[in-house]
Amino acid sequence: MADISRYVYHYMCDEIVGSEKVVKYRRLFFKVFEYVQNRFLSPSKYLVVTGSKAEGLDLCGSDIDFMLISKKYIICESKSEANSYLSGITVSRQILILDTDNAQPGFGLLCVHKKPICDQQFVERNEDGTFLSSKLYLLNFATKYTNHIINGPCLSNLDGKLDAAHSLKSLKWPSVAKNWATRKRSSGIPSASLVSDIVKYAIQLVPIGSKSCSVDVHPLEWRISFSIPEKLIIHTWSHTQLLCYAILKVLLKEVFKKNKILDSLLCSYFLKTTLFWLSEEVDTTNWVPEKLLHCLDMCLSRITYWITQKYIPNYFIPEHNMIDRQYDQQAWDELLALVSFLHGIGWQSIFLCDSFQHSSIVAYSENLKRSFHSFSDFEKAVIPLMHFISMSFEFLDVTYWSRTKAFTRCLSFMMREILPKKYKILFLIMLSGISFKMAESLMCKQQGNKQSYFEHKQIMTCFFYLCTNLCRNGMGFASS
């Protein structure tokens, strides 16, 4: 099976996912995208790109996920911590206390500390106290942007290409996940140093409650999100691990999602969780191209076991069973039957997918031709992502600083810092897109707004001067 695994590995690299370098450049694209966007945002929020694209995948039909993290709130885990934070300073942000004792595992209540000082429309009072309501928080955005829909904790545009989760950030790593940082890992993955770095990152809370006790979500609970730690871990995966995850995502889309009854029972996050757990348990020597299909079999086996047990443990909080307890038994039986069938045929389940037609892989394995040989890895990664630069993000509910000042700051950073070539190219791509939007905005304004025109002209002079210098120094798009 080693030879077949190698063929599938190379087929995935050339036809579906891309090489290690292509994945590296995709991640770099969104790293620079985040940096540039956050230079333009007002200080009340900052943007993080999450989901599979930020992780390095760009599968056909996949959307892009953003997390907009509000800076209006300070989230503590106790009153004493909140009071110590208050002592000696003037606080203009709302302090909230995360209560995980009275919520389902993986969720928390946000209790308002002291008197509410902002966003009264999101506050709900009952006999247990005063809380920031996740339901009201999310409905506020849905009401404000009527051309978009609620999708779980996110707001999505109508074509489903973009999801934005408006989230809050805690001050510290939550105590309910402290065992994740200390538990033994037979594989040594993630490394102790990475674990140490991750727990320094606070987690986020996204506006959706559990369904464990009702068919409806709990209106006050917030889900604890580990999106940023997950991205950091996935960025350390071997390419084989990432390809294994990609195969599972293709199976989900091209096999499971074709059955409307099963559509809502299995999601890509469950597949990602499978890889997280197996990465801890399985020796790193297994995650190599020659064993790709063996790794896929292990994943299918684990998923089958979890579906049989009706329990999928969250990677960071294992007490959180991610399978909602309200489900249709007939649909669940169908899911179990399909998962068991795929487990039974093992790696050959990939041939049920349009992306893995048997004839295509056989033809590919006979000559191992490299597709798009005229394009560099950098171009293969970046060109398909260029349309994100011109996307409309108005429903992210952000305000912008002066675009002129932000543009100037980015240019100054580029000229001041010693950056790798690819960073500079991506900066220029991002800024050129923003420049186009600025020019469009000026055209829409009344004639006579000479100050804005002259500011834009000065920036463009500096921008094109920088582009010219970079080109003279051999900074072509495809240069290494």
Mean pLDDT of the chain: 85
- Tokens coding 56: 């390095």
Q: What are phi and psi of 380, to 5 degrees?
A: -60, -35
Q: Which has more confidence, 477 or 374?
A: 374
| Cα–Cα distance measured from residue 66 to residue 388, given in angstroms and rounded to the nearest whole number | 12
**Cβ-contact 26, 383 below 8 angstroms:** no
**Cβ-contact 133, 219 below 8 angstroms:** yes
pLDDT at 326: 63
| Cα–Cα distance measured from residue 345 to residue 339, given in angstroms and rounded to the nearest whole number | 10
Please state the rounded mean pLDDT for residues 388-415. Answer: 68
Lowest mean pLDDT among 302-311, 320-329, 364-373: 364-373
Phi-psi region at 183: left, alpha or beta (left = phi > 0; alpha = psi -120 to 50) = beta
- Model confidence band, residue 93 (pLDDT cutoffs 50, 70, 90): confident
What is the CATH topology of the domain spanning 2-367?
Answer: Poly(a)-polymerase, middle domain (1.10.1410)
pTM of the model: 0.88
- Model confidence band, residue 397 (pLDDT cutoffs 50, 70, 90): low
Q: What are phi and psi of 139, to 5 degrees?
A: -60, -30
Domain locations in the chain?
Answer: 2-367
Residue 402 has pLDDT above 70, yes or no: no
pLDDT at 475: 47
The amino acid at residue 141 is F
- Model confidence band, residue 480 (pLDDT cutoffs 50, 70, 90): very low
**Cβ-contact 256, 266 below 8 angstroms:** yes
Which CA distances in Å does 244 have to 140, 257, 289, 295, 474?
A: 39, 19, 10, 7, 37
The amino acid at residue 31 is K
- Cα torsion angle, 260, 264, 266, 271, sign: positive
Residue 43 has pLDDT above 90, yes or no: no
**Cβ-contact 138, 150 below 8 angstroms:** yes
pLDDT at 224: 98
Counting other chains too, the contacts that 200-203 makes at CB distance below 8 Å and 24 or more residues apart are 200/173, 201/173, 201/228, 201/229, 201/232, 202/169, 202/170, 202/171, 202/172, 202/173, 203/169, 203/170, 203/173, 203/174, 203/177, 203/228, 203/229
Q: What is the percentage of the chain residues whose pLDDT exceeds 70?
A: 81
pLDDT at 299: 98
Please state the rounded mean pLDDT for residues 189-212. Answer: 92
pLDDT at 298: 98
| Cα–Cα distance measured from residue 309 to residue 321, given in angstroms and rounded to the nearest whole number | 11
pLDDT digits (tens, 9 = 90+) for 55-91: 999 998 788 899 999 988 999 999 888 888 776 555 6
- Model confidence band, residue 340 (pLDDT cutoffs 50, 70, 90): very high
- Model confidence band, residue 360 (pLDDT cutoffs 50, 70, 90): low
Residue 210 has pLDDT above 60, yes or no: yes
pLDDT at 361: 61
Please state the rounded mean pLDDT for residues 328-336. Answer: 90
Lowest mean pLDDT among 108-122, 213-227, 318-332, 448-462: 448-462
pLDDT at 411: 77
The segment with the largest mean pLDDT, out of 21-25, 45-49, 360-364, is 21-25
pLDDT digits (tens, 9 = 90+) for 128-156: 999 999 999 999 888 887 778 899 999 88
Residue 415 has pLDDT above 90, yes or no: no
